[in-house]
Structure 1
Amino acid sequence: MRSKMQRLMGASALALVMSLAPIPSVAVDRDFVVADIELEGLQRIAPGTVLTYLPVSVGDSIAAGQSADIIRALFATGFFSDVSLRRRDDVLIVVMEERPAINEIRISGNRDIKTDQLLDALRQVGMARGRVFNRTVLERMENELLQQYFARGKYNVQVDVEVESLARNRVDVVIDIAEGRVARIQQVRVVGNEVLSERELTRRLESGSKRWYNPFSRRNQYSRQKLAGDLETLRSRYLDDGYVNFNIDSTQVTLTPDRRDIYVTINLDEGEQYVVREINLAGNLIVSEEELRSLLEIAPGDVFSRRQITNSANAISRRLGDEGYAFANVNPIPELTEEGNEVALTFFVDPGQRVYVRRINFTGNARTQDEVFRREMRQMEGGWYSTSNVERSRVRLQRLPYVENVNLETRRVPGTDDQVDLDISVTERLSGSFMVGLGYSQSQGLLFNTSLSQDNFFGSGNRVSVAFNNSSVNRIYSFSFFNPYYTIDGVSRGFDIFYRETDAAEADISRYSSDRFGLSVTYGIPLTEFNTFRITPGFESVRIKTSDRTPNEITDFLRDNDGPDFNLYTLNASLTHDTRDRTVFAERGNLQRVNLEVALPGSDLEYYRVDYRNQYFLPVRENLTLKLHGEAAYGDAYGNTSDLPFFEKYFAGGTRSVRGFRDFSLGPTDSNNDAFGGNFRVAGGAELIFPPPFLDNMPSVRVSLFLDAGQVYASYDDFDAGEIRYAVGAGMTWLSPVGALTFSLAKPLNDKPEDRTQSFQFNIGASF
């Protein structure tokens, strides 16, 4: 009985096991027609997506052995880690196990490369949030991260990856990075050079040992991109010197065993130097060949120079662009002759289609009226395209005080071959400010100022300013309004009104104080694109206050000219020539200004002052500008006035003239041995200006090395070149939110015992 019960129980158990066992795979011994398809195991993937990839549908006949193809097709999607097929009668059952989805990628320990950059790199190898996680991609992912760091010279980097399982078949990928430090370049060697020395070749490379004078330099940090740029620098140097067949044979980058130091060896073949035998112009020249040849920087007999050839081709393209050929192509073709190492150079000119400008479109001007920008344009809609006019328009827009950046693109009009649109994107800077400031100046002591100004009043381009400034020397109240386009032709008009109280003794000048009230109107008349004439009639009331310590020079002047109150009817006239590329931190161009100031007949005092200033900016090389500047100024009285008024005399010394000497200290003194000023001033100097090498991405800061010279004389007849003072030093200017802050450290070269020197000078302030 027991044995029978055991047999029955065993049979039941076997039946139960058989009922729970998987349905056998599709039989391979006979075909069947699929009556229905069932999908099992799906969690996130939609059934419709699976049916799209499934190479069989209801009604299809499955042949013997076709199951492997079906499984292979589903595996190819990358969505599944396991796929099996089952059959129930004529129903095909597809059982799938989905790969987990990436819920989040967490990266820690990265400082040199931003997280967004690393995530973009991972996305390129198939790793991103929401995508299917595939363990076979992990190794590719780690390699990609390593390559990102290797490209930056970090060969000690370690990348640890962990996968954390979550509910609903999801995972988090956790990446911990130990970056290590950048491998340092200990030496860059050049092998194979005979004409140029190794020092001459390596000194301009971006890769190499750190300069002694720049401890913050990253020059010794290795990166592949930087080395590639250095190789191109070498190639350009030799091609500019005529070595047409120059070649870099190989580059070896050797890493020390501890992966901390790098040695770079560049093997090169200089080849032979070539000279230009002849220059030909071919193609459709449009303008005369004689004019085009005048644009060439290279001539027969010159050493072959890729830079000069490229500049010549660009000059021809720009000239054709001025005729409306916006897309002219100038292709220089050199033909080498082995005998004599000569090059026959031919410039093939293809002007293309002449085009005119259909529309000029402005974007980005959220506050400024469209008309304000259009009036600065020198390229007109409906006119032939002109490269010079387009570039000049860009510069004029860039010079506006309320514009930070200008991007100009020339775009062909679809469907035509003779029309283009100019798309101009402007980035506006804040044009209005309310400022309360506190600062300190060596010449004026503690400064307090408050101002309300708007350079772009209601988006009109007009400037309005109300200000109050207070220091130990000056207290100033002022209001000004300026319209740069009073007329459609560009005539400007402005109004100024001010009241100023001055205590000259606080500036170490003769002991007196003054109250001055004035108002004026200014008209600016553009004579040419670069020349402007301004005329400013005005009125000024001056009251002089003296004390027991006021010097005789001042009391005598007041007695002889019926002081201490004076009413002056003034007229200022100036002629300005300005070709600078920028008004602030210019890199090229010339600024010249002649200014005449006259107290007109009928004034209580009659005098004049003439001033000439010249600034010339020359780009020495990229990010290095040479500034040459000079000034000569002279003033005198006429009519019944005895002398140029003491409150209009010239001074020198300080951050705005000759650094290294105290403000206003150079020139004649009064009977109290205080600075009195003079009627004649000369000043000038030279300055090398460049961005600070230890501060990257700081466009608002410039440093300089300078030579200053200047002196003030009682009159023109007293001029003595031997009395001019000189100083050398270094300076820095920062365009801060409260204005230009200047610092200088100077060494006078020929100071005398009576001179008042000051090595460190500054003007600094801060808003609160």
Structure 2
Amino acid sequence: MDPVTVRGLGRCLLCACLAWASAGGAATAQEGTGAPDARRLKVRSLDIQGVSGLDVSQLTGVLATRESGGLLPFLGKDRYYNPRQLQADLYRIIAFLSDHGWPRARVTSVDLDRDEEAKAVDVTVHVDQGPPVIIDKVETFGFDVLEPRDQEAVQQRISVVAGRRRVQGDVRNTRTATLAVLQERGYAYSTVNVLEGEGTAPGHVSLYVIAEPGPQALFGTITVRGNHGVSDGRVKSLLSMKEGQEFRISRVVDTQRRLYNREIFQFVSVNAEPTSTVGAPVPVNVVLTQAKPMRLSITPGYGSEEKARITTTLRHLNFFGGARTALATVRWSSLDRGVRLNVEEPSLFRRGVSMSVGAQYWYADEPAYRSTTKGGRVTFAKQRERSDPVRRRQSLTTLSVTVVDEYEDYTVSEEALNDPDFYDDLIALGLNPNTGRGKGQLLALAVDLQRNTTPNLIDAKGGYLVSAHVEQAGNWMPGAYNYTEYTAEMRKYHTFGNIVVAGKARAGTIDAPGLLAADVPFFKRYFLGGSSGMRGWGRFEVSPLTLSGNPIGGHSMFEGSAEVRVPAFAKFAIVGFVDAGNVWYETLDFHFDELRVDVGPGLRYLTPIGPVRVDFGYQLTRIEGLLVNGELEPRRWRIHFSVGQAF
């Protein structure tokens, strides 16, 4: 710091203290210690004058001296004047301004205005910023070892810009971000420095971003420590890197994230530190501390569709060792309840294929039917994760195959059972026309393929998701049902400034070699409506109707949605949406001139677990004659409460 500035600070603070003493004594009590007395004065206001070119709240945010109160003064915290804190804050002001481009800034005076009646003091700090340091030009050297597209990425990560102030934070960010590009391309031993040269005039500088990439390197020996209960081989099968693989710094970060996400370990540290021999393979040290294996959680909740709900889960995070996860779930709500058990093998034969074995006893109470499902599923899944932070791309592709063996016992709704127009369907479905009950074994093979490029699907702001599902029951497999189902879905998210535009399209159809009503169980039929799509209607309300007006489901469906999500204030956001879709009875029977449409606004409140949302949907195209719970539905609107975005 300039000696002149230091002497000026000393004189400034001395004058302030003398003025304070002459006014009736100094406030010597420390903030937060003891009870308030006559000598303790609240800081009623703190004003910093002479600062321009930046938000003063950024400056006051780093100071220890702060104003009392808050948005509501009677609820805010009392802050007391402390001369030692103020003295340190004067140095903080100079350091802050110097770091943000004003190296010659100084404090010229401090005014302390005491109010004895209110036992308060108003603090005013006068600052002379001086001229800023302006960047004339920014040049890069040493990055020519990278591909042209990666060199463009380096330029995009340079925070310092010609014609602007030199901010030390931007200089540090530039060094860190450009070094990360080199390390992501295998240059583990690279260094980057930002050097400063003379500019075209006093107070102007030229900045040079200089890289020394060195040779490309590989990952060396991987050492695992602290892995009690999980073998070294199993831990290494969960890592994102392998010995002898090209070095990429993102693989180190992904490895740490993967191990934490398994929740088996309470502490995870993954370090890849280059050795003193430039170009040598980079050793990796993985240090683990195992967490308690048993986790119990009881989660209550509420939604506009399922009303009150409670879910209890018991997890064993290292079931019989090997990082296997066992999960038991007990749930109750007005829509569904039951017990589910699941065991996951994270890496079958260490080939990167996971296996999940599940069993359930589950009751579902839907508007169109009630069903009880007993049985199990076995799923084999292979994931391929790709991450390229340099070009800001990431993707997760998952291929899974599921074998289903479940016994279904279901009954259609009273409204459908009492509808004479549905009598022939009951017989074709093999249901008792008097009770509407059917039962049978479902043996099926399902194949799912999904590609996801969104960083966070719960509240996505960019990327896309594409998925396809094929399910075959019967044919060469025994069982009571014989059908093939095809569904596909695509979601796309894009951000314009701080506004997110999201779109979704989903389609599906079910085919059968014989009669649809005979080969396809009723619970597989398509219905639309609810909080996640077609929000102008309730669940199971968009569907073909009987002549009486009861929804009976169909075998082809399409739905699409578009949303605009705009931040409002604090943690609130507002949404405008439009939904369109319909269900048709026959296979591949799509008629896009018959789409039902709804629009509406929504409100979101951001929480750590995702946005809490409320949507109001209004029907632009009514379904004439629709019966809900046996009564003619007069409303053209619905209100939905839920957690997470609609899609």
TM-score if structure 2 supplies the norm length?
Answer: 0.67
Task: Check conservation: 1:279, 1:300, Cα contact below 8 A.
Answer: no
How has the CA–CA distance of structure 1 residues 441 and 423 changed in structure 2, closer, same or farther, with 3 Å as cutoff?
Answer: same
1:647 partnered with 2:505 = no
Distance 1:760 1:357, change over 3 A: closer
> Residues 556 and 711 from structure 1, CA distance in 2 versus in 1: closer, same or farther, beyond 3 angstroms?
farther
1:713 paired with 2:590, answer no
1:754 aligned onto 2:627:
no
1:525 alignment counterpart: 382
Q: Out of 526, 534, 543, which is 2:400 matched to?
A: 534
In structure 2, what is the equivalent of residue 598 of structure 1?
471
Q: Residues 505-544 of structure 1, C-alpha deviation per residue, up to 9 Å, x if partnerless?
A: xxxx23x322334433212123453322222232444343
Alpha-carbon shift at residue 317 of structure 1 (Å): 1.4
Deviation at 1:565, TM superposition (A): 4.1
Give the counterpart letter for 2:155 in structure 1.
L
Residue in structure 2 matched with residue 269 of structure 1 by the alignment: 129
Change over 3 Å in CA distance of 1:408–1:302 after alignment to 2: same
Residue of structure 1 in register with 2:434 after alignment: none
SS in 2 for 1:651: coil
Could you tell me how far apart the structure 2 residues matched to 1:630 and 1:356 are? Answer: 41
Determine if the alignment matches structure 1 residue 463 to structure 2 residue 325: yes
Where 1:443 maps in the other structure, the secondary structure is coil
Per the TM alignment, residue 203 of structure 1 is displaced from its structure 2 partner at its CA by 10
Shift of 1:322: 4.0
Q: 1:653 to 1:586 in 2, by over 3 A?
A: closer
Change (3 A) 1:285 1:429: same
Matched, 1:281 2:141: yes
Find the aligned partners of 2:322 and 2:69 in 1 and give their Cα distance: 51
Report Cα offsets for 1:372-425 as digits up to 9, x if no partner.
432222334466653232222223223324345544445566999957654444
The answer to which of 328-337 and 708-717 deviates more is 708-717
Q: Which residue of 1 aligns with 2:511?
A: 638
Matches within 5 A, 1:32-431: 150=30, 154=32, 157-158=33-34, 183-184=42-43, 186-193=45-52, 212=71, 244-245=101-102, 247-250=104-107, 252=110, 254=112, 256-257=114-115, 260-265=120-125, 267-269=127-129, 271=131, 274=134, 276-277=136-137, 279-281=139-141, 287=146, 291-292=150-151, 294-297=153-156, 298=158, 302-304=162-164, 306=167, 310-322=172-184, 325-326=187-188, 328-339=190-201, 343-351=205-213, 359-362=221-224, 365-366=227-228, 368-381=230-243, 385-403=247-265, 406-411=268-273, 421-426=283-288, 429-431=291-293
Say whether the 8 Å CA contact 1:666–1:712 is kept in structure 2: no
Give the one of 483, 490, 493 matched to 2:345.
483
TM-aligned CA distance change 1:344 to 1:372, over 3 Å: same
| Counterpart residue type for residue 400 of structure 2 | R
- Cα distance in structure 1, aligned partners of 2:423 and 2:356: 36
**Distance change (3 Å), C-alpha of 1:407 and 1:676:** farther
After alignment, is 603-612 or 640-649 more displaced? Answer: 640-649
Shift of 1:369: 4.2
Sort the Cα spacing of 1:567 and 1:268 in 2 relative to 1 into closer, same or farther, 3 A. farther
1:594 Cα shift? 0.3
Aligned to 1:559: 427
Check conservation: 2:314, 2:328, Cα contact below 8 A: yes
Q: CA 1:438–1:577 in structure 2 vs 1: closer, same or farther (change >3 Å)? A: closer
SS for the counterpart of 1:598 is: strand
Counterpart-to-counterpart distance in 2, 1:266 and 1:367: 63
Rate the CA distance shift 1:527–1:435 in 2: closer, same or farther, 3 A.
Answer: closer
- Deviation (angstroms), 1:485: 0.5
C-alpha deviation, 1:218, in angstroms: 6.9
The one of 539, 543, 546 equivalent to 1:664 is 539
Distance in 2 of aligned mates of 1:227 and 1:545: 77
- The sequence identity of aligned pairs, in percent, is 14
Q: 1:676 to 1:248 in 2, by over 3 A?
A: farther
Q: Which structure 2 residues correspond to residues 728-767 of structure 1 after superposition, within 5 A?
A: 728-731=602-605, 733=607, 743-746=612-615, 754-758=635-639
The 3 A distance-change label for structure 1 pair 481 and 219 is farther
Larger-gyration structure (1/2): 1
Measured in 2, the distance between the counterparts of 1:619 and 1:459 equals 47
Superposition deviation, residue 762 in structure 1: 7.5
| Cα pair distance change 1:558/1:634, threshold 3 Å | farther
> 1:587 and 1:218 mapped to 2: Cα distance?
37
Q: Which amino acid aligns with 1:757?
A: R
Which SS does the other structure have where 2:381 is aligned? strand
Structure 1 residues 3-33: Cα deviation after superposition (integer angstroms, max 9, x where no partner) = xxxxxxxxxxxxxxxxxxxxxxxxxxxxxxx
* CA offset digits 1:180-203 (Å, max 9, x no partner): 99945635444252x56879x779
- 262-271 or 368-377: bigger deviation: 262-271
SS in 1 for 2:426: helix
**2:359 is the counterpart of 1:493:** no
Cα distance change of structure 1 residues 212 and 549 upon mapping to structure 2, 3 Å threshold: same
Cα distance in 2 for residues equivalent to 1:666 and 1:396: 41
Do the aligned partners of 1:278 and 1:344 also contact (CA within 8 Å) in 2?
yes
Which residue is 1:544 aligned to?
410
Report if aligned partners of 2:136, 2:199 keep a CA contact under 8 Å in 1.
Answer: no
CA distance in 2, matches of 1:371, 1:181: 64
Structure 1: stretches of 5+ with no match in the other structure: 1-145, 160-176, 694-702, 764-768
2:235 aligns to what SS in structure 1?
helix
Contact 1:652/1:711 (CA < 8 Å) preserved in 2?
Answer: no
Q: For 1:214 and 1:662, locate their aligned partners in 2 and report how far apart those are by CA, in whole Å.
A: 46
User: How many angstroms apart in 1 are the aligned matches of 2:494 and 2:225?
Assistant: 32
Q: 1:184 to 1:727 in 2, by over 3 A?
A: farther
AA partner of residue 639 (structure 2) = Q
CA distance in structure 2 between the partners assigned to 1:267 and 1:404 by the alignment: 49
Change (3 A) 1:631 1:274: same
> Whole-Å Cα distance in 1 between the matches of residues 641 and 252 of structure 2?
45
In structure 1, C-alpha distance between the alignment counterparts of 2:216 and 2:170, rounded to whole Å: 27
Change (3 A) 1:713 1:270: farther
What is the CA deviation profile of residues 273-304 of structure 1, one whole-angstrom value per residue up to 9, with x for unaligned ones?
8454451415x976579854651225998534
Shift of 1:272: 5.7
Q: How much has 1:253 moved relative to structure 2?
A: 7.5
Distance 1:481 1:573 in 2: 20
| Per-residue Cα deviation, 1:425-455 (whole angstroms, up to 9, x for no partner) | 4465544335677776553355466554324
CA contact (8 A) 2:178 2:192 kept: yes
Amino acid in structure 2 at the alignment position of 1:495: V
CA distance in 1, matches of 2:244, 2:38: 57
Aligned to 1:100: none
Gaps of 5+ in 2: 1-26, 387-395, 432-437, 585-589, 623-633
Q: Distance in 1 between matches of 2:263 and 2:46?
A: 47
Q: Bigger shift: 708-717 or 413-422? A: 413-422
Tell me, yes or no, if the aligned pair for 1:611 and 1:631 is still in contact at 8 Å.
Answer: no
Deviation at 1:344, TM superposition (A): 3.4
Partner of 1:444: 306
Hey, what does 2:560 align to over in structure 1? 682
Offset of residue 634 of structure 1: 1.6
